């Protein structure tokens, strides 16, 4: 939540900051601001409520050449969406932008007697005033005194008015990546803002301070000694973070799914079987565990629900899926024979990270499925299976979900082989089925116009219901989330058999019900539930396999997906459900990529 960027160097800083903020805007878009050293060597601040486009208009009046500045795009946590609460915040010689939450800001307000001085309602202004109170003209020494006073998560970029041309940055938990290039020094919340300038970067180590000048970037530990963080290289380019002719990132990312699947699966196949030796994941963790705990949030958690529905019956060990924000507080049964599978696209979701830390503390082995290389979750896990989706910019997760599933299916297969629940021949068949989903996804993407048409009856409805049994129920959860987060249609998923225990009371004339019936074993059971809602007037969109026998009149619309093995239908279904949500949002004229109240990475509790 919140995107931050800092730049000092020979380029026009105004452009670097504004372009960077546009890339980071998916992290929050309530308000935006920049601060910079002007030709008069003084710090100037411009900030506004609204999106980066509005800040860009505000900055149009800046005629002078700027070479050093910081920029922020906000997702409000403390304090409403107002210009006062927008970043940067200033106190004396300090100008600061912040991503995260300072949990002890009340205490700091009292300790430093700030109550009367605060202009905004933000924890960030408190931090800026504390730092100003500690500041003695030596930024590094002052930051060393400042950092131990803070509780919570943060990444900061700071200008000291008596050090023109310099930017200081530090972090705890909240992400920050930095690079020194021949075009100067740059730091940002994520790589999308850096890649136009360089492919080499460092993840700013936690509790370290970065000093940036146009000529150098240096990192200091808590004793003031310079350290050399590891230099990493990103394997995607600027195109991956651009729309490339698509009207929205979401549609582009839906189209990218077949390639993302190939990139995630193919490099890990040896003689048709999953092979994690290059990932450094030993078979031992699969052999030794007596239970699996999957923890994640949102879409990633839904991928875990699908995996669970296959894992437990196949592996015959308990598999539990927990919402990460609950797991932390439910005193979970985790021990040294637990394999914790942590799933996160960003690798920065704070609740998922906390669940990971708790699992490790309780003795579990932690295997994470992460998309962003070098992210905090990836670095703190015992083992990482990276998904190779490239950057996912739209707030609504699409390709990340598919590749999380692909990675989880590979884990399932490897684990079943290791535990003697599958022969090599079965394993090869399983992986061959997994590869077969790629053309199936392609075929559904090609049918997007058909899906656009059938979405029309949904868009003026306040509610929609998604139903399915077993795996279809797990898929439904994701369909409902996708629809509600970008179309604002209230949508919920129900196990189809559970409907008549209460929810069916909500089914009335023309209420949309998206029914998933792709599991052969229980097809007729689900169809009975479809009849029940149809009998009460529902507008039914049925998703079934090509060869499934569907009676005339059972559904208002039937979307056929290719005939795949039951376990694998999720992949084409995911495409259909994503397209339903996409077109519902589009037809309602909403902001598809940046829905209200949301941000891509949830880095606050
Ligand atoms: O980065 P993560 O995978 O940890 O994010 C988890 C959720 O915040 C995320 O999947 C969210 O639910 C999606 N925006 C939904 O489309």
Q: Tell me, what's the pLDDT at 239? A: 72
Residue with tokens 């030709």: 39
The arithmetic mean of pLDDT across residues 425-448, rounded, is 97
- pLDDT confidence bin for 366, thresholds 50/70/90: very high
* Average of per-residue pLDDT values in the chain: 94
The arithmetic mean of pLDDT across residues 334-346, rounded, is 97
Secondary structure (3-state) at 376: helix
pLDDT of residue 601 exceeding 80, the answer is no
Sign of CA dihedral 360, 365, 371, 374: positive
Count the alpha carbons within 13 Å of 262 in the hemisphere toward its beta carbon. 7
Q: Which atom of ligand 1 is nearest to the CA of 296?
A: 4
Secondary structure (3-state) at 516: strand
pLDDT in tens, 115-164: 999 999 999 999 999 999 999 999 999 999 999 999 998 999 999 999 99
The pick from 26, 294, 300 for probing ligand 1's pocket by mutation, whose C-beta has the most ligand atoms within 8 angstroms, reads 300
Catalytic (active-site) positions = 2, 600
Name the region of 520 (left: φ>0; alpha: ψ -120 to 50; beta: rest): alpha
Give dist(CA 553, CA 514) in Å, integer: 15
From the centroid of its chain, how far is CA 458?
Answer: 27
Task: Give one DSSP letter per residue of 525-592, joined into a string.
Answer: HHHHHHHHHHHTT-EEEEEEETT----TTS-SEEEEE----GGGTHHHHHHHHHHHHHHHHHHTT--S
Q: Output phi, psi for 138, to 5 deg.
A: -115, 100
Secondary structure (3-state) at 429: helix
Residues at CB less than 6 angstroms from ligand 1 = 297-300, 344-346, 349, 352, 395-397, 481, 485, 601-602
Neighbours of 163 (CB within 10 A): 18
Cα(352) to centroid(ligand 1), Å? 10
pLDDT of residue 603 exceeding 80, the answer is no
Q: Which atom of ligand 1 is nearest to the CA of 404?
A: 3
pLDDT in tens, 371-409: 988 888 998 999 999 999 999 999 999 999 999 999 999
Count the alpha carbons within 13 Å of 152 in the hemisphere toward its beta carbon. 23
pLDDT of residue 63 exceeding 90, the answer is no
Q: Tell me, what's the pLDDT at 604? A: 72
Q: Tell me, what's the pLDDT at 163? A: 98
Q: Tell me, what's the pLDDT at 234? A: 82
Buried b (16+ CB within 10 A) or exposed e, 430-445: bbeebbebbebbbebb
Which H or E run contains 426? Answer: helix 424-446
Q: Which two tokens stand for residue 283?
A: 């078979």
The arithmetic mean of pLDDT across residues 511-540, rounded, is 95
Residue of 236 and 507 predicted with greater confidence: 507
> Which distant-in-sequence residues (6+ apart) come within 8 Å of 120 by Cβ?
79, 82, 84, 85, 89
**Lowest-confidence segment of 88-92, 198-202, 423-427 by average pLDDT:** 198-202
| pTM of this structure | 0.84
pLDDT in tens, 463-481: 999 999 999 999 999 999 9
Helix locations, 1-47, DSSP H? 13-24
Q: Tell me, what's the pLDDT at 200? A: 93
pLDDT of residue 241 exceeding 80, the answer is no
Neighbours of 272 (CB within 10 A): 15
The pick from 294, 347, 349, 351 for probing ligand 1's pocket by mutation, whose C-beta has the most ligand atoms within 8 angstroms, reads 349
Q: Tell me, what's the pLDDT at 192? A: 85
pLDDT in tens, 67-78: 999 999 998 888
The arithmetic mean of pLDDT across residues 19-30, rounded, is 90
The arithmetic mean of pLDDT across residues 194-205, rounded, is 92
Q: Which two tokens stand for residue 498?
A: 């559970």
Give dist(CA 144, CA 126) in Å, integer: 17
Q: Tell me, what's the pLDDT at 513? A: 97
pLDDT of residue 185 exceeding 80, the answer is yes
Q: Tell me, what's the pLDDT at 375? A: 84
Q: Tell me, what's the pLDDT at 419? A: 97
Cα(91) to centroid(ligand 1), Å? 35
The arithmetic mean of pLDDT across residues 241-257, rounded, is 92
pLDDT in tens, 554-572: 999 999 999 999 999 999 9
Residue of 552 and 188 predicted with greater confidence: 188
Cα(67) to centroid(ligand 1), Å? 35
Q: Return the CA Rg of the chain.
A: 25
CA distances from 552 to 393, 456, 543 (A): 41, 22, 14
Q: Tell me, what's the pLDDT at 476? A: 96
CA distances from 307 to 337, 568, 570 (A): 19, 11, 11
Q: Tell me, what's the pLDDT at 64? A: 81
pLDDT of residue 368 exceeding 80, the answer is yes
Q: Tell me, what's the pLDDT at 122? A: 94
Q: Where are the beta strands (DSSP E) in 38-88?
A: 43-49, 68-74
The arithmetic mean of pLDDT across residues 271-296, rounded, is 97
Q: Tell me, what's the pLDDT at 555? A: 95
């Amino acid at each position: 939540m919140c995107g931050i960027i800092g730049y000092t160097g020979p380029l026009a800083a105004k452009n670097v900051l504004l372009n960077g903020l546009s890339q980071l805007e998916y992290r929050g878009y309530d308000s935006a601001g920049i601060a910079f050293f002007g030709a008069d060597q003084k710090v100037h601040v411009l900030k506004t409520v609204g999106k980066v486009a509005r800040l860009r208009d505000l900055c149009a009046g800046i005629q002078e050449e700027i070479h050093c500045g910081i920029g922020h795009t906000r997702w409000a946590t403390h304090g409403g969406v107002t210009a006062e609460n927008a970043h940067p915040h200033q106190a004396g010689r300090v100008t600061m932008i912040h991503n995260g939450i300072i949990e002890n800001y009340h205490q700091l307000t009292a300790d430093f007697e700030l109550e009367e001085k605060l202009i905004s309602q933000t924890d960030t202004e408190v931090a800026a005033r504390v730092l100003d109170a500690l500041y003695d003209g030596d930024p590094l020494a002052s930051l060393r005194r400042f950092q131990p006073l803070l509780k919570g998560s943060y990444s900061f970029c700071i200008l000291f008015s008596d050090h023109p041309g310099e930017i200081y940055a530090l972090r705890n938990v909240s992400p920050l990546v930095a690079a020194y290039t021949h075009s100067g020094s740059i730091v940002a919340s994520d790589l999308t803002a850096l890649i136009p300038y360089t492919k080499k970067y460092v993840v700013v180590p936690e509790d370290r301070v970065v000093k940036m000048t146009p000529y150098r970037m240096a990192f200091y530990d808590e004793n003031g000694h310079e350290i050399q963080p590891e230099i990493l290289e990103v394997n995607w380019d600027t195109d991956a973070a651009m729309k490339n002719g698509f009207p929205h990132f979401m549609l582009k990312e839906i189209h990218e799914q077949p390639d993302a699947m190939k990139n995630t699966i193919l490099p890990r196949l040896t003689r048709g079987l999953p092979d994690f030796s290059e990932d450094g994941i030993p078979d031992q963790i699969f052999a030794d565990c007596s239970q699996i705990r999957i923890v994640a949030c949102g879409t990633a958690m839904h991928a875990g629900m699908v995996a669970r529905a296959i894992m437990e019956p196949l592996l015959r060990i308990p598999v539990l899926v927990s919402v990460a924000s609950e797991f932390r507080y439910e005193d979970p049964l985790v021990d040294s024979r637990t394999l914790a599978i942590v799933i996160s696209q960003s690798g920065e979701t704070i609740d998922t990270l906390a669940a990971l830390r708790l699992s490790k503390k309780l003795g579990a082995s932690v295997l994470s499925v992460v998309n962003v290389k070098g992210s905090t979750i990836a670095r703190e896990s015992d083992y990482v299976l990276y998904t190779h989706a490239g950057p996912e910019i739209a707030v609504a997760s699409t390709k990340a979900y598919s590749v999380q599933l692909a990675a989880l299916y590979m884990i399932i297969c490897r684990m079943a082989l290791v535990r003697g629940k599958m022969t090599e021949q079965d394993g090869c068949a399983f992986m061959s089925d997994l590869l077969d989903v790629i053309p199936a996804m392609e075929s559904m993407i090609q049918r997007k116009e058909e899906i656009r048409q059938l979405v029309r009856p949904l868009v003026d409805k306040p509610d929609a219901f998604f139903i399915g049994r077993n795996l279809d129920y797990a898929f439904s959860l994701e369909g409902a989330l996708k629809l509600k987060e970008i179309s604002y249609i209230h949508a919920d998923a129900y196990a189809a058999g559970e409907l008549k225990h209460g929810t069916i009371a909500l089914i009335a004339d023309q209420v949309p019900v998206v029914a998933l019936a792709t599991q052969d074993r229980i097809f007729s059971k689900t169809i009975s539930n479809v009849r029940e809602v149809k009998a009460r007037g529902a507008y039914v969109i049925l998703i079934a396999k090509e060869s499934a026998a569907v009676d005339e009149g059972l559904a208002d619309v039937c979307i056929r997906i290719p005939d795949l093995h039951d376990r694998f239908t999720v992949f084409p279904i995911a495409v259909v459900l994503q397209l339903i949500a996409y077109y519902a949002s589009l037809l309602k004229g909403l902001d598809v990529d940046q829905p209200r109240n949301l941000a891509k990475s949830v880095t606050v509790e």
